[in-house]
Chain A
Amino acid sequence: MKHIKKALKIAALALPLMVTNACTDLDENIYSQLATNNFYNNREEVLSAVLRPYTHANAWVTPGQDGWWRLNELSADQLAWPVKGRHGQDGGRWLRLHYHTWTPDDDFVWGAWRLMWWGLGLCTDPIQSLEARSAATMGITEDEKAAYISELKLLRAFHYLKIMDLYGNIPTVTAVGDPVSPPTQPRTEVFNFIEKEILDNINSAPVLSQSMLGRMSQAGAYAMLVELYLNAETWTGTARWDDCIAAADKLISGQAGGLNGSAALDPNITDTFKPSNYESKEILFSIAYEFQRANFTPQWPGDFYHFQQRFIYGGGRNGNDGVVVIPGVYSTFADNDMRKTEWMLEGPQYRYDDPTQPVIASGGNEYDGQPLVFVDNIRKNKTLQPGQDPESLPSDMTQGEENSGVRFNKYKLGALEDPDYNGTDWAVYRLSWIYFAKAEALMRKNGGNATSEAVALINQVKQRAFTAEDWASVQYTTGTLSLDELLNERGREFIFEGFRRQDLIRFGKFTTTSWWDHKPSDPTKQLYPIPRRQTTLNENLAQNPGYN
């Protein structure tokens, strides 16, 4: 045993000798990532953090992922993602959106929640970081610091507004990680919180100008107020029509700035959606893209484009052949309405590079090897027997083929040779929408009847879609512009823009009416459920009614 003791003694003596600091140092060295605690040291770093939530907003505010856009459009009466042959089953997710049969477990319910709160955190984190540091240490002026914080708080309010639009009763949190399990606030409280955040910060934020392209400014903030007040009656029970009109007037009068001079309606129905729409006068807040130099490109082709779309427009991007216009919607556009042909694709498609040649479908789907023809119906035309009436074929969410449905063509990516190709900005708010909101507020204040001012507002927007000779017969009068007609015209003007569910709810039609393969659902479906994975984790979250 002596030897053991001796050995242990030597070991015991030797080991500590080897233990210097270097020998037990387990600090991590970070080489190609950035550590949070060593950032915001100069203007570029500050700006890179301030701009982070915008690239993220691309994910949830535009089509392409489970976010605000998809949950608002694919549950409403204009757009759907039907099963098309072997494509689009996708676990039944698109059917459940269309049928309003979602549950707290649905991945899109969680997906939108996840993306939007994440984006909100990307606002709060730099707000806290900027507030905790002096302007001097960040190499910016006090005014710049205040402007950045205001911009971020307004952008955060925008997140809250859209989360509230979908989920209604939600927590309000202003610090990352604190409190760990924040409680649900009633929607009225959330509404008041958002309103206060906007009003507190609107004046210290920059007005809109070309240098604020793609960012939240006073223009975006007033647009938020318009949206907030337009829906105030639905969301809080208290109508705010006058506030809505006042906020809209700020924008219409150009007091909040404009992207290119004072904000104004674009002169036609294409300028707002073209590849160079950074030149638009009416866009108030957009997600800005740029492909040629920056390779930051819109994500929506995935949702809208056919597998062979690039041959139609001469660009390089195709899609998943997903979202189509629900049968019956296309025909609500008058044939002389230029929006019908300019914003949608229907019928045989021809090659961009040779318009005499049809686009041939390939890729092993129903019309492989045959000309691509988008049809205004969703049914298995391929199975039609000679002499059979096509109308006798069933038409529902599961009966699509690769060419079913009229397609999106509102925003244009441009052809490859276009210098702005693939960089078309996505307008979150545009002035036409403000015109419609103000007109609606005026009408609702007036017992649901049009006023001449309301008619003028709508006509100014609508007139761009018709030729001069057609215009006289299609323009609205106080006699023809009913609230229902206003909703219909909203549908035509703002198709694909993400507001349809909100509009239907405001007009009391979202859960009470039928359209195509959709039947009336339960009033509780006007709110999405809180994702189950959050209600199981945070006991302070209350589930929305109807989902327990």
Chain B
Amino acid sequence: MKIALLKKVKNHDSAMNLSLNKGKISRLSLMIFLWLGTAAMAFAQKQVTGKVIAAADNAVLPGVTVVVKGTNTGTSTDASGNYSIELPAGQDVLTFTFIGYTAQDVAVGNRTTINVTLSEDAKALEEVVVVGYGTQRREEITAAVANITQEEFNQSGARNPMDLVRGKVAGLDVVRSSSNPNTGVALQIRGITSITGGQAPLVVIDGIPGGNLDLLQQDDIESISVLKDGSAAAIYGTRANGGVILVTTKKGKTGTASFEYNTYFRKEYVRNQPDFMTAEEYRAKIAEGVIDAENDYGSTTDAYDALINHSNLSQYHNLALSGGGENTTYRASLYYQNLQGIAKENGRQQFGGRLSVNQTGLQDRLTAQINLATNFNRANLLGGGGWEGSLYRNPTLSFYNPDGSYFFEQTSTNELARLAQETSRRQQQTSSFDAKLSYEIVSGLQASIFGALQRNNYIDGAYQQLNSEASLESTDVPVGSGYAERYTYLRNDYTVEPTIQFDRTIANDHHINAVGGYSYQYSVYEDFRAYNSGFVNDIFEENNLGAGNQLQEGKAGMESSKEDNTLIAFFGRVNYSFADKYMLSLILRHEGSSRFGANNKWGNFPAASVGWNIDKESFMESISFINSLKLRAGYGVTGNQDIANYSSLVTLGGGGVYINPDGAYRQTYGPNRNPNPDLRWEKKKELNIGIDYSVLENRISGSIDVFKRRTEDLLYNYTSQLPPFVRETIYTNVGAISNKGIEIALNVVPVQTKDFTWNIGFIGSHATNKADDLSNDIYKVEAITEGDIGGYGALGQAFRIEEGGKIGNFYGKRFAGFDENGKWLFYNRNNEAVPFDQINNSTDPAVSDLAVIGNAIPKYLASLTNDFKYKNLSLRVFMRGRFGYDILNTMDLSYGNQVALPNNLLNSAFTKNAALKDTYQYSDYYLESGSFVKLDEITLGYNFNLNTPFIRNLRVYATGANLATFTKYTGNDPDYVLTTGIGNEINGRRLGIDVRDPYPNTRSFLIGLNVGF
């Protein structure tokens, strides 16, 4: 959020009204200029008129000071942004200045109309950044905080709000698994901080910790702040190991009531289909004798293409109204979004709204802020899968029998029939309600109470028709009797946070800002599932579960569960700055979580950071090319409590039913966990040192951060002594991992003229990690293996983490060639090529023939944004890449091998892998460099300058997204391969392991409109 926006005044009836609400400086300067302007008229040679608008939204800017350069002659724009000025003889340049905006000089030449677009000054002193439980002036920030405002957002149409900042924050990796509108993104800041716990940053929306991203629409977001290091994030203590993402939504502004309407339409096209044989190619292989002739079923089918929704069209509409008076401001928005996937029966339709009201009273001592947001989502979950089965399906096999009915057989699924004969839908409502009341006790001291409720509930329904394949091939219930299911889920998150804030500048130079508070969060969910079969027709679907007869037969089912957890914290932060030169920030959070063991419920999370604005020093005055220079250093401790509820307790788990003496089978119960009353947080200690700089008239600016972080008390399911324990693992805190790296953000303006601006934005990051410790006195492992490769042949785990080694190391056999029969040969530890059964698979490094064969974590992340503006035309070219890592090409492993004939296969089975005549093996043969550069977005926009009081701003734009990927990787698009986490599966993906079931990679084109009136 930028305070500058609050201060800009757009809407007074006349320029003279400005004095009512504006700060002293602008009022005074305006009056001087007005007076001087009048005085100068006597010497006028030429009348110049024009209009001043804001670059961000084309809104007219009233009150802009217009001065003839080098003179005292000046005026200011009126409520419509228009000005008129007499240009004295011999003068040619007008200077336009407005608080919060970059001043602009314009040469008049022969023109009499000069329209000017002013850009917000990113370095404006007033820029404030949300840092959690308050804001800080950019200049005073002492931690690694990135702030992304709306102008910088990606414009390709967000399926998830985090799509907006992909590639925009150095060190933040946002990974999409696909363009499926029903899947989210994986987020990770500065590398892996946990093996079994969550990696994702804490999302805070308008102060609600754990905010639900479904509640955010792209045009309702004002800014997104990312607290990257521990020295800022420690204020969120136990949930801040993954960093914190603070989202601020737009609020109303005092002034004229205004409307904003934003819309886009988007169409997607498949960008590259995996190179499996076409029916023609398959028949050619039959002709060659590679495949038996009986495998030609006579048809020609592209089963993959049959699942593609070629007529997809997504659209988005958002109408916002905002405004306010002296004591009240409001903003309300309504939206509708229909996201259609590239897959058939795969979409998400949502609508909802967001309302925000702010009011002050009691002589401006009381401030109340209320936000309401809700999202209604209707998702079609049926389609979007089945790609693997369609790819390896025999391409000569039809979907239909000769009589036109669907063709079914046991070992495959007729996906086309499935889409026609089944349903799977979700109806969801997500809402949040929050309110904050603040009272100023004495000047600078404010007490507040914040309360929030977030509620997420959905009801799922699924049905399989009587004649569907699933129903006809059912063996548990009567054949052809259908299947219906209902699932409901309800989750409520409550937050109450009383705080006290203190903000005072003492003796001019001492600025103190402090906050202290208490936080109580309670989260509870409940769910219920029921299903039945044995229906006589397809009329009821899942709307009358009792109509099936399998409840009586014991083949219907129901399940329900409920869990909750509580987080309680006491926290405080003191920021002190002296003369804007020296800053100090101290944070302490004392927090407890119900999830941890009885002996370790509470933890302390301290942080300290300092900053030095070097440019404010007197010795810097002579160095004019440096506009600003700040040195920052911080250290902070954060925690991770993102683990399952009840992890420390021994609970009795159902062990399945068994026969009782009366002949009935009943549930059995036994301990399902070893107890760990000492279970506690994963704790991260992080040191961050950074520089913020701006040089050469702010033409070059940016920041550099270096960090070193170490997560201790790492949680892992350690093998426990068995015997004597019941279970073989205990969830306990043992190990430590560390990350270090550097992040660079650079902004360069190579060209800045009246008509043409070229802005280059670069961000890059480099990080390395190490598993420092995996053992302690009690629990020891030689190594941790992760990453189930899956698929045929039970190939085991892809990764091995060893003490002192890197995380993400692929560990396996080293390919040595094929023997004369096409059998695999691998190198043993003596570098002799041997058959696979002579390879020693021991985990003992002293004898094992296995080795580190790659690493799945990118060494470098980078993106490059080029923004060009020529008059009203703007062009953005955005490129993004990950570098220096490997991907396991499981698609080639599984389907580039003739052993799987007569299934359809990748053509690589006959080309690249033609020499292979053996079954599946995991080795470095299938590891490939994942490095890529993606042309992620090109946006061409045009701002119309309409000389009408009805339209304030109008912009149309066209965006092409995911246009091209430049890579040597031969599998699917490497961008969709997960590069975060290691122990957790996210959206069905695992770190570094490509999928065999790839959702189509799409190129999309979007046309959008922003209009304000």
Q: Which residues of A approach B to under 8 Å, CB–CB?
A: 1, 3-4, 6-8, 10-11, 14-15, 18-19, 23-36, 39, 44-45, 47-49, 51-56, 83, 85-93, 95-96, 99, 101, 103-107, 113-114, 117-118, 120-122, 124-126, 171, 173, 175-182, 211-215, 288, 290, 292-296, 307-308, 310, 315-318, 362-364, 368-370, 398, 416, 532-534, 536-538
Contact = CB atoms under 8 A, between A and B. Distances in A.
Contact of B593 (A26, A177, A213, A292): A26
A290 B662 CA distance: 14
Contacts of A107: 796
B553 A292 contact: yes
A105 B843 contact: yes
Interface stretch (B322-330, B511-519, B691-699): B511-519
Contacts of B565: 28
A213 B660 CA distance: 9
Interface stretch (B254-262, B310-318, B665-673, B956-964): B665-673
Interface stretch (B616-624, B777-785, B881-889): B777-785
Interface stretch (B11-19, B458-466, B869-877, B898-906): B898-906
Nearest to A120: B723
A141 B564 CA distance: 38
Interface string B637-671: 00000000110011111011111111011111111
A3 B504 CA distance: 8
- A-B CB proximity, top 6 nearest: A316-B475, A121-B726, A294-B665, A363-B411, A52-B670, A364-B903
Interface in B592-632: 592-595, 601-602
A30 B646 contact: yes
A364 B410 contact: no
B659 A86 contact: no
A30 B841 contact: no
Contacts of B657: 55, 294-296
A55 B566 contact: no
A110 to B, nearest CB: 8
A362 B409 contact: yes
B793 A122 contact: no
A71 B294 CA distance: 40
Among A51, A120, A173, the one with the most B-chain Cβ atoms within 10 Å of its Cβ is: A51
Given A171-B723, A213-B659, A86 B409 contact: no
A121 to B, nearest CB: 3
B598 to A, nearest CB: 9
A182 B719 contact: no
Given A8-B516, A31-B561, 17 more contacts: A7-B445, A10-B441, A25-B568, A32-B563, A47-B666, A49-B669, A89-B921, A91-B841, A103-B840, A106-B841, A120-B723, A121-B722, A180-B721, A214-B658, A362-B412, A364-B903, A537-B779
Contact of B412 (A6, A56, A363): A363
11 contacts: A3-B506, A26-B601, A30-B649, A45-B669, A49-B669, A87-B793, A180-B724, A214-B658, A288-B658, A290-B665, A296-B656
Given A26-B593, A31-B563, A175-B724, A6 B294 contact: no
Interface of B: 292, 294-295, 392, 394, 409-412, 441, 444-445, 447, 474-476, 498, 500, 502, 504, 506, 512, 514, 516, 518, 520, 553-555, 560-566, 568, 570, 572, 592-595, 601-602, 645-646, 649-653, 655-662, 664-671, 674, 719-728, 779-782, 792-796, 836-837, 839-844, 897, 899-903, 919-921
A540 to B, nearest CB: 9
A533 B774 CA distance: 13
Contacts of B602: 26
Given A24-B592, A117-B722, A364-B392, A52 B655 contact: yes
Nearest to B293: A369
Contacts of B794: 89-91, 93
A117 B652 CA distance: 18
Given A18-B518, A28-B645, A118 B722 contact: yes
Contacts of B504: 3
A88 B674 CA distance: 34
Contacts of B592: 24, 26
Nearest to B475: A316
A28 B294 CA distance: 63
A32 B292 CA distance: 55
Nearest to A536: B780
Contacts of B570: 15, 19
Given A28-B646, A30-B651, A36-B651, A10 B500 contact: yes
A527 B658 CA distance: 33
Contacts of A23: 518, 520, 568
Nearest to A307: B411
A419 to B, nearest CB: 12
A83 B560 CA distance: 42
A121 B295 CA distance: 53
Contacts of B722: 113-114, 117-118, 121, 534
Given A29-B564, A45-B669, A533 B724 contact: no
Contacts of A369: 292, 294-295, 902
A73 B650 CA distance: 36
A372 B706 CA distance: 65
A125 B670 contact: yes
B723 A28 contact: no
A83 B899 CA distance: 12
B554 A293 contact: yes
A525 B29 CA distance: 95
A368 B844 contact: no
A4 B586 CA distance: 14
